[in-house]
């Protein structure tokens, strides 16, 4: 019996069993060896080993994944001579390794007997007693909700199946999200089901009921209210951007007038301080990049740093598409290769402490009202390096030519003085009110380290007897010398008994160890809450599920201190918002409330922009107060992690396993050095070194990252957790807070790095699924695309040219649909000009498609399961390269090499062009993966999905098969979404609309870099992008005809700086060739 | 002797394999013709047969969801609060309803987890309940009527016409195509056009 679908494209032409061989290096070599067919293997090996410079001459450019490849170190060649990562060709072996057991906890997937033919004999069907009116079992429901973190509430849209949330997306109606969600928001869902979350409310080691705590608190409040008005009561919280919590706090304050609230935000402290001084009130600057032609980032990673990045990324990307008019130009000065730095047209490597001087020089060069401020700052900063000074001049020229259409952003790690200078420059250029809007801050109170210091001083002086902590794990996140740990630790504080500490958190962590009362908090998807976004928009965040582990809502915890009868968070929230409407609002409150909850945003809550201009006097005070950091040759930089932030996502295995966007390291952090600095210090990748700073020492593994500033070392926060029950996070990486000082929380000079014995193995995906040096990500300047040089023409010919039947194209074409009426022809496009490499799509894919987490050891063997990977390429010199990000998933070749090597027909084509993967047919030969030129297939070496608790199984998407051990899997273009939408459309007897069908990666992409749809419909965005002049196919010359088109990344360099550059670049290239 | 053993050498494996193939397709393995005892003695003969209650009264999501739905206890009680409200047969139903505890029905039609069947599209394109579920109105305890094997699915997906019926008879237990072959074919063609039937055979149609 022929089991192939009748309508599938012809695949069994005999000639189809061999792919056209494309000569690797150049025609001459292969011609010379033409007669020598017997020695093909030797030749291939020789080819691999001579690949010292992995460029193909035809491309004229050198793209490389990492330093070892660029320099062709012997170790690299040894490791990479085989086509596949070590271990990828081994039989499935081994089990029950330590790391594997660790992650069994949170994140592996459903243990269904899926690919097993035995059916359970007595499977039960459990209907509702009373079906909720909105539920039709089998169909998903979507609820608007939110996620609050670091003083910002992100608007979310949660998909629920029969009452359990299974997917987090951005709320399309939220002005910041606009449908997008970052990695944190999406992984937020996994933390909901994390069985390691705290469950027990306890006093000391004794479990207590909430009622006992309530009685305890109410007697405390009564005594205090009658006595000193709560003078000895302190609260330490996150910045409170929730109107309800703000109101509760005000009411507690009325009851206990002397109680004090401190808040602590891990980031953005300096910006808040500067804006408070400049504008006379707590403000937040909103940037409008749609109108900015020139963007200057002073160490600002605005495309990824929270909280406004989703909106900024979309605005930025819209201006990188030549179809939307002239491209913007991005200048970045930074100490490390960041996501924003990778998108820059001109990137300058500077130490963090040089940014102040750079900003001062820029202010001076821009002139106008900023000049005098700049001059006084320049005096403090000292002379700039000549290359920095010339860079500043060019940037200033460009800024001045775009006055009112430019913007300068200062980084969150930079001191207030830099923020003041940046806003002074913006004011001088007339950008305020145009590209920069100043709005009242969502969380108005001060939330810097000064707050924590004041609190610690009070405790030390014995002025505090009760401390309530709701801030995330301050004992871990605070710099080591903040002093809070010393006063909370009974061993170090003799008067500890006089202090009662209540800590509310999601996990039993470093802080809960010292708490007298510990209250497990309810997850935000388990309770009613509200919160403001940075632009003032209020979201009403509704719960999706009853608390799984007896968590207490934060609002109810605060309400205990009012000593009033218990009211649930829902009632408090409604009462608060009813009161906001006034008498007039009460009448139709119910209707309005329903709309707010269902849409997720409160209309009219957008903050009004202030018209105030910055107080330059205050700015010069800030500049005057600026203390240059310590000198010393090695500058130590702390950065929040792209995956774990300040450590609050550390127990999230999705994020732990996500490759860092730049270093591609999973399950680890490292001390990151530039190649030159590493050479100077005699360090190499994987060496262990002792990092010494301020008299404190820490052993850290070292990794080398091209593009980092010389003489700096960068460490990520958030790792090295030692929390009691956070099994996933435990002992992953090192805790950089142990070196951090409150005096210089983000960077300081005078660090020392010395090699010590030992080595460290990173699990990095950098060289996994390599493409043998064939440059696949393409970038070029706008002018190059408009007037291609001979070289560029050659490239374009190679990646876009016609395929000749019989040469690269020896399969006959299948007759796909040509019009929407004939059917669908699925295709995707990925615009490299837009893609920042933020990883949001990778997490979206993981959540949507039940992709398991495999653990550090397995990633080290190249067995990560992510269907969608982001390749990060460097180009240029090893010290100062440019970067291109390229997401690659299965490209659904029309003539797919994987299909005709499968002995069991487990991967076959659909008549709409999907490369279907049939798990139940797969026997795990892995031939398909061998033959896939794009290396996008993933194999279940172990039963990664077994051993789930019933809570964890609730996370799984029921529309996608949970794969078993021994089965190949890969991107399906979210076929479950296609089929669901298709069935809905067919029942309604209409065609699928472009808007109703989005793949998970496309849906969440903050920059809309991914488009998906039917290529048979010329009106769809994806079709137009496929026909764009920038569109090309990966490995086009193989004739596989991918359905995913990539669009060439465009750069918009400043001619003035390009003219200066070649001399420098020329010398660095010398060594490479 | 040697001829016999040679014959045996060929025949035994052939018979064994053939037997195995026949066995996995037999009702014993496909679970057909095997009435399943349920926690409550619910009789479709009475409800669907005697009382002629439309299938969709209880299985109300069949036209809009992948799942036809197992009726909630409230659906039972919508009638049985009025009729037979003291019957000892229904004690367990009342108990479940008032205790707000689900009734754990035993699953009869169980596809493997890697198969995604959608009721709404089949019902929407003219495939009747009885086509796959058989004469439910004649079953005291529900049993699986069709083999539910992949080849059985594909038979219809390759040629759906014989199994199409007018939408107004979609839940009918007794509807049969016209006896006259030409007439039946004409009706099938007409419905095929009218309902815009495109039965698909790509793998991802059912396996995702």
pLDDT digits (tens, 9 = 90+) for B167-208: 999 999 999 999 999 999 999 999 999 999 989 999 999 998
Helix H or strand E encompassing A585: helix A569-587
User: Which residue shows structure tokens 């997937």?
Assistant: A109
Reference A1046, options A866, A813, A845, A833; nearest CA is A833
Partner B contacted by A119 (CB < 8 A): yes
* A635 Ramachandran zone, left/alpha/beta (phi>0; psi -120 to 50): beta
Task: Give the β-pairing of A500-505 and A517-520.
Answer: parallel
pLDDT per residue as tens digits for the range A62-102: 677 776 776 666 666 666 555 555 555 555 444 444 444 44
- DSSP for A351-394 reads -TTHHHHHHHHHHHHH-TTHHHHHHHHHHHH-PPPHHHHHHHHH
Strand, helix or coil at A514? Answer: helix
Q: What is the mean pLDDT of residues A629-647?
A: 90
What HEC string does chain B produce?
Answer: CHHHHHHHHHHHHHHHHHHHHHHHHCHHHHCECCCCCCCCCCCHHHHHHHCCCCHHHHCCCCCCCCCCCCCCHHHHHHHHCCCCCCCHHHHHHHHHHHHCCCCCEECCCCCCCCCCCCHHHHHHCCECHHHHHCCHHHCCCCCECCCCCHHHHHHHHHCCHHHECCHHHCCCCCCCCCCCHHHHHHHHHHHHHHCCCCCCCCHHHCCC
Give contacts of A139 with chain B, Cβ < 8 Å: 61, 64-66
Mean model confidence pLDDT for chain A:
85
Strand, helix or coil at A318? Answer: helix
Q: What is the mean pLDDT of residues A596-609?
A: 89
Smallest Cβ distance to A975: which of B67, B110, B204? Answer: B204
Chain B contacts in chain A segment 921-980 (CB below 8 A): 959-962, 972, 975-976, 978-979
Whether residue B203 and residue A127 make contact (CB cut-off 8 A), yes or no, is no
A655 to chain B, closest Cα gap in Å: 25
pLDDT per residue as tens digits for the range B7-55: 888 888 898 898 888 888 788 777 787 888 899 989 999 999 888 999 9
Quick check: bond before B112 cis, omega within 30?
no
User: Which residue shows structure tokens 């990673």?
Assistant: A301
Whether residue A987 and residue B63 make contact (CB cut-off 8 A), yes or no, is yes
Smallest Cβ distance to B202: which of A5, A124, A125? Answer: A5
Give contacts of A111 with chain B, Cβ < 8 Å: none
**ipTM of the complex in this document:** 0.91
Where does chain A hold its CATH 3.40.50.740 domain(s)? Answer: 202-266+446-524+551-567
Partner A contacted by B32 (CB < 8 A): no
Please report, for residues A14, A295, A370, the alpha-carbon distance to residue A422 in angstroms, rounded to integers and kept in the order given: 66, 12, 9
Q: What is the mean pLDDT of residues A788-806?
A: 81
Whether residue A975 and residue B208 make contact (CB cut-off 8 A), yes or no, is yes
Neighbours of A825 (CB within 10 A): 22
Q: How far apart are CA A527 and CA A555, in angstroms?
A: 9
Partner A contacted by B30 (CB < 8 A): no
Fold designation for A202-266+446-524+551-567: Rossmann fold (3.40.50)
Q: Where are the beta strands (DSSP E) in A434-499?
A: 436-440, 466-469
Q: How far apart are CA A614 and CA B32, in angstroms?
A: 80
Q: How far apart are CA A288 and CA A480, in angstroms?
A: 38
pLDDT confidence of A42, banded at 50, 70, 90?
Answer: low
pLDDT per residue as tens digits for the range A877-911: 888 999 999 999 999 999 899 998 999 999 999 99
Whether residue B63 and residue A131 make contact (CB cut-off 8 A), yes or no, is no
Give contacts of B104 with chain A, Cβ < 8 Å: 124-126
Contact A1045, A832 (CB under 8 A): no
* Rg, chain A, Cα only: 29
Whether residue A986 and residue B202 make contact (CB cut-off 8 A), yes or no, is no
| A588 Cβ contact list (under 8 Å, min separation 6) | none
The confidence score (pLDDT) of residue A37 equals: 45
Give contacts of B67 with chain A, Cβ < 8 Å: 137-138
Contact A538, A602 (CB under 8 A): yes
Counting Cα atoms < 13 Å in the Cβ hemisphere of A466 gives 21
Please report, for residues A27, A310, A964, the alpha-carbon distance to residue A705 in angstroms, rounded to integers and kept in the order given: 35, 26, 37
Counting every residue written for chain B, the total comes to: 208
Give contacts of A123 with chain B, Cβ < 8 Å: 106-107, 110
Whether residue B204 and residue A138 make contact (CB cut-off 8 A), yes or no, is no
A985 to chain B, closest Cα gap in Å: 10
A108 to chain B, closest Cα gap in Å: 18
A676 to chain B, closest Cα gap in Å: 50
Helix H or strand E encompassing A848: helix A840-848
pLDDT higher for A29 or A787?
A787
Q: How far apart are CA A284 and CA A535, in angstroms?
A: 8
Reference A317, options A1009, A822, A848; nearest CA is A1009
**Which of B61, B202, B205, B206 is the best mutation test for A, with the most CBs of A within 10 A?**
B202
| A1019 Cβ contact list (under 8 Å, min separation 6) | A994
pLDDT confidence of A1072, banded at 50, 70, 90?
Answer: very low
Question: A132: nearest CA in chain B?
Answer: B72
pLDDT per residue as tens digits for the range A952-1003: 899 999 999 999 899 999 999 999 999 999 999 999 989 999 999 999 999 9
Long-range contact pairs involving A543-549 (C-beta distance under 8 Å, separation at least 24): A543/A145, A544/A143, A544/A145, A544/A158, A544/A160, A544/A164, A544/A165, A545/A160, A545/A163, A545/A164, A545/A165, A545/A192, A547/A522, A547/A523, A548/A192, A548/A193, A548/A197, A548/A523, A548/A951, A549/A197, A549/A198, A549/A199, A549/A520
φ, ψ dihedrals at A771, nearest 5°: -115, 35
Counting every residue written for chain A, the total comes to: 1073
Q: Where are the beta strands (DSSP E) in A572-632?
A: 601-602
Where does chain A hold its CATH 3.40.228.10 domain(s)? Answer: 283-440
Partner A contacted by B38 (CB < 8 A): no
Contact A455, A236 (CB under 8 A): yes
User: Which residue shows structure tokens 């409170």?
Assistant: A240
Strand partners for A797? none
Burial of A502 (0-12, 13-18, 19+ CB in 10 A): buried
Give contacts of B142 with chain A, Cβ < 8 Å: none
CATH of A283-440, one of 3.30.565.10, 3.40.228.10, 2.40.360.20, 2.60.40.10: 3.40.228.10
Chain B contacts in chain A segment 389-428 (CB below 8 A): none
| A671 Cβ contact list (under 8 Å, min separation 6) | A689, A691, A700, A701, A702, A703, A713, A714, A715, A753
Partner B contacted by A134 (CB < 8 A): no
Whether residue A916 and residue B204 make contact (CB cut-off 8 A), yes or no, is yes
Judged by average pLDDT, the poorest of A116-125, A357-366, A505-514, A564-573 is A116-125
Partner A contacted by B149 (CB < 8 A): no
Partner B contacted by A822 (CB < 8 A): no
The confidence score (pLDDT) of residue A1065 equals: 39
Whether residue A986 and residue B125 make contact (CB cut-off 8 A), yes or no, is yes
Complete edge-to-edge strand list for the sheet that includes strand A882-888: A63-64, A869-875, A882-888
Domain locations in chain B as residue ranges: 1-30
A979 to chain B, closest Cα gap in Å: 7
The domain at A630-764 falls in which architecture?
Beta Barrel (2.40)
Whether residue A961 and residue B201 make contact (CB cut-off 8 A), yes or no, is no
B1 to chain A, closest Cα gap in Å: 36
Give contacts of A129 with chain B, Cβ < 8 Å: 72-74, 96-97, 100-102
Judge whether residue A359 has pLDDT over 90: yes
């Amino acid at each position: 019996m022929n089991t192939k679908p009748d309508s599938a494209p012809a695949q069994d032409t005999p000639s189809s069993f061999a792919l056209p061989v494309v000569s690797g290096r150049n025609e001459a070599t292969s011609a010379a060896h033409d007669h020598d067919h017997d020695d093909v293997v030797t030749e291939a090996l020789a080819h691999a080993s001579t690949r010292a410079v992995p460029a193909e001459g035809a491309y004229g450019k050198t793209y490389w994944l990492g330093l070892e490849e660029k320099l062709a170190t012997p170790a690299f060649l040894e490791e990479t001579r085989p086509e596949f990562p070590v271990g990828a060709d081994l039989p499935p072996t081994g089990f029950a390794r330590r790391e594997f057991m660790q992650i069994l906890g949170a994140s592996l997937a459903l243990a269904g007997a899926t690919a097993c033919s035995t059916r359970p004999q007595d499977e039960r069907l459990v209907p509702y007693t009373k079906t909720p009116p909105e539920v039709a079992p089998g169909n998903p429901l979507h609820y608007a909700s939110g996620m609050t973190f670091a003083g910002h509430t992100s608007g979310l849209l949660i998909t629920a199946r029969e009452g359990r949330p299974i997917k987090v997306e951005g709320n399309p109606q939220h002005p910041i999200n606009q449908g997008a969600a970052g990695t944190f928001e999406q992984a937020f869902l996994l933390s909901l089901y994390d069985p390691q979350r705290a469950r027990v409310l306890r006093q000391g080691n004794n479990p207590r009921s909430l009622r006992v705590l309530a009685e305890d608190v109410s007697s405390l409040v009564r005594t205090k209210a009658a006595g000193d008005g709560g003078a000895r009561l302190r609260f330490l919280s996150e910045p409170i951007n929730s109107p309800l919590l703000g109101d509760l706090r005000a009411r507690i304050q009325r009851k206990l007038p002397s109680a004090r609230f401190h808040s602590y935000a891990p980031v953005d402290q300096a910006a808040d301080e500067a804006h408070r001084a400049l504008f006379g009130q707590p403000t937040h600057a909103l940037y409008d990049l749609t109108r900015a032609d020139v963007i200057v980032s002073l160490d600002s990673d605005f495309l990824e740093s929270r909280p406004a990045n989703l909106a900024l990324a979309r605005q930025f990307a819209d201006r990188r598409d030549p179809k939307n008019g002239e491209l913007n130009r991005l200048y970045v000065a930074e100490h490390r290769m960041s996501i924003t730095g990778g998108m820059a047209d001109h990137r300058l490597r500077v130490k963090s402490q040089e940014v102040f001087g750079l900003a001062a020089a820029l202010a001076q060069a821009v002139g106008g009202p900023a000049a005098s401020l700049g001059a006084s700052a320049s005096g403090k900063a000292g002379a700039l390096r000549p290359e920095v000074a010339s860079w500043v001049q060019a940037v200033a020229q460009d800024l001045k030519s775009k006055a009112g259409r430019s913007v300068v952003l200062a980084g969150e790690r930079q001191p207030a003085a830099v923020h003041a200078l940046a806003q002074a420059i913006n004011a001088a250029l007339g950008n305020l009110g145009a590209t920069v809007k100043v709005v009242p801050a969502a969380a108005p109170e001060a939330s810097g380290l000064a707050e924590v210091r004041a609190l610690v001083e009070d405790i030390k002086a014995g002025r505090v007897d009760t401390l309530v902590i709701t801030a995330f794990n301050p004992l871990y996140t605070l710099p080591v010398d903040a002093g809070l740990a010393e006063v909370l630790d009974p061993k170090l504080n003799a008067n500890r008994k006089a202090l009662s500490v209540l800590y509310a958190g999601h996990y039993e962590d470093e802080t809960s160890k010292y708490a007298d009362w510990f209250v497990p908090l309810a997850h935000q998807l388990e309770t009613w809450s509200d919160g403001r976004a940075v632009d003032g928009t209020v979201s009403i965040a509704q719960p999706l599920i009853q608390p799984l582990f007896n968590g207490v809502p934060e609002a109810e915890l605060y309400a205990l201190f009012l000593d009033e009868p218990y009211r649930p968070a829902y009632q408090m929230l409604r009462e608060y918002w009813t009161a906001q409407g006034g008498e007039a609002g009460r009448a139709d409150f119910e209707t309005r409330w329903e709309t707010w909850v269902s849409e997720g945003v409160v209309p009219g809550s957008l903050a009004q922009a202030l018209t105030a201009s910055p107080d330059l006097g205050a700015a010069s005070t800030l500049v005057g107060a600026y203390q240059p950091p310590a000198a010393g040759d090695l500058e130590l930089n702390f950065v929040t992690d792209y995956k774990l932030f300040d450590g609050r996502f550390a127990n999230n295995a999705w994020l732990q396993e996500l490759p860092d966007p730049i270093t591609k390291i999973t399950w680890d952090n490292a001390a990151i050095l530039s190649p030159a600095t590493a050479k100077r210090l005699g360090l190499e990748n994987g060496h262990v070194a002792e990092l010494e700073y301020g008299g404190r020492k820490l052993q850290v593994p070292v990794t080398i990252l091209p593009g980092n500033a010389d003489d700096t070392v960068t460490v990520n926060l958030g790792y090295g957790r030692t929390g009691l029950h956070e099994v996933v996070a435990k002992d992953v990486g090192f805790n950089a807070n142990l070196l951090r000082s409150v005096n210089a929380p983000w960077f300081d000079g005078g660090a020392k790095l010395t090699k010590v014995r030992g080595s460290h193995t990173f699990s990095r995906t950098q060289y996994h699924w390599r493409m043998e040096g064939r440059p696949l990500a393409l970038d070029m300047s706008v002018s190059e695309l408009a007037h291609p040089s001979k070289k560029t023409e050659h490239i374009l010919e190679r990646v876009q040219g016609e395929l000749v039947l019989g040469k690269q194209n020896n399969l006959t074409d299948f007759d796909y649909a040509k019009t929407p009426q004939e059917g669908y022809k699925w295709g995707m496009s990925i615009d490299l000009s837009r893609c920042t490499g933020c990883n949001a799509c990778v997490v979206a894919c993981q959540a949507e498609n039940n992709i398991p987490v495999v653990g550090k050891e397995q990633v080290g063997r190249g067995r990560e399961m992510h269907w969608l990977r982001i390749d990060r390429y460097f180009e240029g010199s090893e010290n100062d390269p440019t970067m291109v990000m390229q997401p690659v998933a299965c490209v659904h070749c029309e003539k797919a090499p994987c299909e005709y090597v499968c002995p069991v027909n487990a991967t076959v084509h659909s008549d709409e062009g999907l490369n279907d993967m049939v798990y139940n047919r797969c026997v795990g030969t892995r031939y398909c993966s061998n033959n896939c030129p794009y290396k996008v297939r993933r194999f279940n070496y172990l039963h990664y999905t077994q051993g789930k608790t019933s809570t964890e199984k609730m996370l799984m998407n029921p529309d996608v098969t949970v794969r078993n051990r021994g089965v190949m899997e890969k991107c399906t273009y979210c076929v479950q979404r296609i089929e669901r939408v298709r069935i809905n459309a067919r029942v309604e007897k209409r065609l699928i609309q472009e808007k109703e069908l989005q793949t998970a990666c496309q849906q969440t992409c903050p920059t809309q870099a991914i488009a998906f749809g039917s290529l048979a419909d010329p009106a769809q965005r994806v079709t137009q992008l496929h026909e764009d002049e920038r569109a090309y196919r990966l490995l086009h010359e193989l004739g596989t005809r991918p359905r995913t088109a990539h669009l060439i990344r465009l750069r918009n360099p400043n001619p003035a700086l390009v003219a200066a550059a070649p001399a420098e670049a020329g010398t660095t290239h010398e060594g490479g060739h | 002797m040697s001829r016999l053993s040679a014959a045996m050498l060929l025949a035994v494996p052939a018979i064994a394999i053939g037997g195995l193939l026949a066995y996995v397709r037999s009702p014993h393995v496909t679970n057909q013709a095997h009435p399943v005892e349920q926690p409550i003695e619910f009789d479709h003969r009475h409800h669907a047969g005697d009382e002629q209650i439309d299938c969709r009264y209880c299985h109300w999501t069949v036209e809009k969801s992948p799942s036809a739905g197992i009726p909630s206890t409230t659906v039972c009680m919508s009638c049985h609060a009025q009729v037979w409200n003291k019957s000892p047969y229904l004690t367990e139903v009342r108990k479940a309803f008032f205790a707000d505890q689900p009734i754990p029905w035993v699953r009869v039609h169980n596809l493997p987890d890697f198969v995604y069947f959608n009721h709404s599209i089949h019902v929407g394109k003219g495939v009747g309940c009885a086509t796959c579920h058989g004469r439910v109105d004649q079953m005291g305890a529900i049993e699986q009527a069709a083999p539910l094997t992949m080849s059985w699915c594909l038979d219809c997906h390759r040629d759906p016409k014989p199994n199409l019926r007018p939408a107004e008879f979609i839940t009918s237990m007794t509807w049969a195509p016209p006896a006259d072959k030409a007439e039946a074919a004409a009706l099938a063609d007409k419905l095929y056009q009218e309902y815009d039937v495109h039965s698909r055979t790509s793998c991802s149609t059912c396996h995702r």
